């Protein structure tokens, strides 16, 4: 049995030991972690904790441990999550993106849309102890000419789908489902389910102008579902034990999603438009236990606009409305080259949330909305042994928290 003091040399030695052990034991080492300060959802408590078969235990068993790690003066938190991205569907620089996630302590990623035929060959990278875990919606539901049809057409022109599709018509029912009425929904629902999605994504864009935009080609890609269909879609999804995540652009889209009883709203609304969401809608979202994923850093795409400061202030105001209403807020970026780190940094810079708020948003809320049926996001008996060890207390100093990680363990596997 090894008894080691945590440090840079220790981490290197443990990683080498893990690589040898993991070949025989896919759930990793039997580890005893002493003197660590473990996050209990509110503060840090000194505990001795054991890892066995990839699971956390707070009671000692009469079994021999492979390794004892002294965590004196170190802080242990659940891993981070990315609750909104689209950057795992392509093999272009995929290993670099996966490494960026893991290096920053992001173990879980919610992938809000993908083409199943394109991502299937890459799935061996995901959902394993030594990699990142993903949940997938696959093809989202939208209206004729709605988002993401224009985006898929543009990517087709770039050659991203060479070998898979030759025309935009071939992409339909792979990259998106067109649902214009109840007949479409009923007729295509079995095909939606055939992709075995982890959740259903619906696209609402400028639903207050649905009638105006639905047949106007000037709004190609800038529209979405008929808002009247949302309750029926949610009912079908829930009947199949699937949660519904709604892409929204405006405050009215937010209202439609909330009153339609979706489970998650995938964007803070009005990022690019600058209007307030209704307090009553935020209160209803909180009452129904809905999650709102931030994607607030998308506002930085407007830096060159003369009203950028107003847009940023409106982002802060809408987040404050959600906070005051008690809405569960998760951190997701929807930024292709991000791993939710930039999103976290922007939220921290707004001086709206306490360090405890931010920690719970990134570690707990983001993970549970990504993988709601897993025992993750909490450091509790019987939960997965996935956690980060920090060299400083994030409740006192949370800025650049990702840079204070000195050890990462995922399902009992010590990561390099």
Compare 294 and 17 and report the one with higher pLDDT: 294
Average pLDDT over residues 254-270: 98
Categorize the per-residue pLDDT at 4 as very low, low, confident or very high, splitting at 50, 70 and 90.
Answer: very low
Compare 3 and 146 and report the one with higher pLDDT: 146
Measured at the CA of 242, the angle between CA 286 and CA 276, to 5 degrees, comes to: 30
Average pLDDT over residues 181-191: 98
* pTM, 2 dp: 0.94
Identify the pLDDT of residue 19.
36
Categorize the per-residue pLDDT at 65 as very low, low, confident or very high, splitting at 50, 70 and 90.
Answer: confident
Tell whether the model's pLDDT for residue 8 goes beyond 50: no
Tell whether the model's pLDDT for residue 309 goes beyond 50: yes
Burial of residue 344 (CB within 10 Å: 0-12, 13-18, 19+) is: buried
User: Which residue is associated with the tokens 């049926």?
Assistant: 373
Q: 59 vs 32, 48, 120, CA distance in Å?
A: 11, 8, 40
Return the bridge partners of 36, or none.
47
Q: Sign of the C-alpha dihedral, residues 181, 230, 367, 190?
A: negative
Q: Beta strand 67-70 with 31-39: parallel, antiparallel or unpaired?
A: parallel
CA 352 to chain CA mean position, Å: 21
Identify the pLDDT of residue 60.
83
Least confident range of 24-38, 55-69, 178-192, 379-393: 24-38
Tell whether the model's pLDDT for residue 22 goes beyond 90: no
Share of the chain above pLDDT 70, in %: 93
Q: Would you state the structure tokens that stand for residue 5, as one six-digit string?
A: 């003091």
Q: What is the dihedral of CA 86, 91, 95, 101, to 10 degrees?
A: 0
Q: Would you state the structure tokens that stand for residue 351, as one six-digit string?
A: 């001086």
Least confident range of 162-166, 245-249, 340-344: 162-166
Tell whether the model's pLDDT for residue 170 goes beyond 90: yes
Give per-residue pLDDT as tens, 315-332. Answer: 999 999 999 999 999 999
Average pLDDT over residues 17-40: 68
Burial of residue 264 (CB within 10 Å: 0-12, 13-18, 19+) is: buried
Provide CB contacts within 8 A for 189, sequence distance 6+. Answer: 236
Provide CB contacts within 8 A for 272, sequence distance 6+. Answer: 249, 298, 299, 301, 302, 311
Share of the chain above pLDDT 90, in %: 91
Whole-number average pLDDT of the chain: 93
Average pLDDT over residues 349-368: 98
Tell whether the model's pLDDT for residue 200 goes beyond 50: yes
Identify the pLDDT of residue 61.
75
Q: Beta strand 31-39 with 44-52: parallel, antiparallel or unpaired?
A: antiparallel
């Amino acid at each position: 049995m090894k008894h080691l003091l945590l440090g840079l040399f220790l981490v290197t030695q443990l990683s080498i030991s893990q690589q040898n052990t993991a070949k025989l034991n896919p759930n990793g080492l039997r580890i005893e972690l002493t003197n660590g300060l473990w996050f209990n959802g509110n503060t840090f408590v000194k505990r001795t904790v054991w890892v066995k078969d990839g699971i956390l235990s707070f009671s000692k068993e009469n079994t021999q441990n492979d390794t004892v790690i002294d965590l004196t003066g170190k802080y242990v938190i659940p891993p981070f999550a990315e609750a909104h991205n689209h950057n795992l569907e392509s093999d272009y620089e995929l290993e670099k993106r996966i490494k960026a996630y893991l290096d920053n302590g992001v173990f879980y990623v919610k992938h809000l849309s993908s083409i199943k035929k394109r991502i299937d060959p890459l799935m061996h990278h995901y959902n394993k102890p030594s990699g990142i875990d993903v949940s997938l919606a696959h093809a989202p539901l939208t209206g004729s000419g709605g988002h993401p049809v224009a985006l898929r057409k543009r990517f087709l022109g770039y050659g991203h789908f060479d070998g898979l599709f030759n025309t935009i018509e071939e992409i339909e029912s792979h990259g998106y489902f067109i649902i214009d009425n109840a007949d479409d929904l009923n007729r295509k629902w079995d095909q939606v389910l055939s992709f075995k999605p982890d959740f259903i994504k619906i696209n609402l864009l400028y639903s207050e102008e649905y009638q105006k935009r639905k047949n106007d080609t000037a709004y190609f890609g800038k529209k979405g579902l008929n808002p009247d269909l949302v309750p029926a879609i949610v009912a079908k999804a829930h009947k199949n034990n699937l949660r519904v995540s709604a892409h929204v652009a405006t405050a009215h889209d937010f209202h439609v999603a909330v009153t339609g009883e979706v489970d998650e709203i995938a964007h803070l609304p009005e990022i690019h438009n600058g209007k307030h969401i209704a307090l009553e809608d935020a209160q209803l979202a909180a009452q129904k236990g809905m999650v709102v994923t931030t994607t607030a850093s998308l506002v930085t795409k407007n830096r060159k606009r003369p009203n950028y400061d107003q847009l940023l202030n409106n982002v802060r105001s809408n987040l404050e409305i959600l906070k005051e209403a008690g809405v569960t807020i998760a951190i997701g970026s929807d930024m292709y080259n991000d791993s939710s780190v930039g999103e976290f940094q922007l939220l921290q810079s707004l001086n709206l949330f306490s360090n405890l708020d931010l920690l719970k948003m990134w570690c707990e809320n983001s993970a549970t909305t990504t993988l709601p049926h897993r025992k993750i996001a909490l450091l509790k008996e019987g939960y997965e042994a996935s956690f980060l060890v920090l060299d400083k207390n994030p409740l006192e100093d949370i800025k650049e928290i990702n840079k204070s990680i000195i050890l990462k363990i995922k399902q009992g596997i010590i990561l390099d």
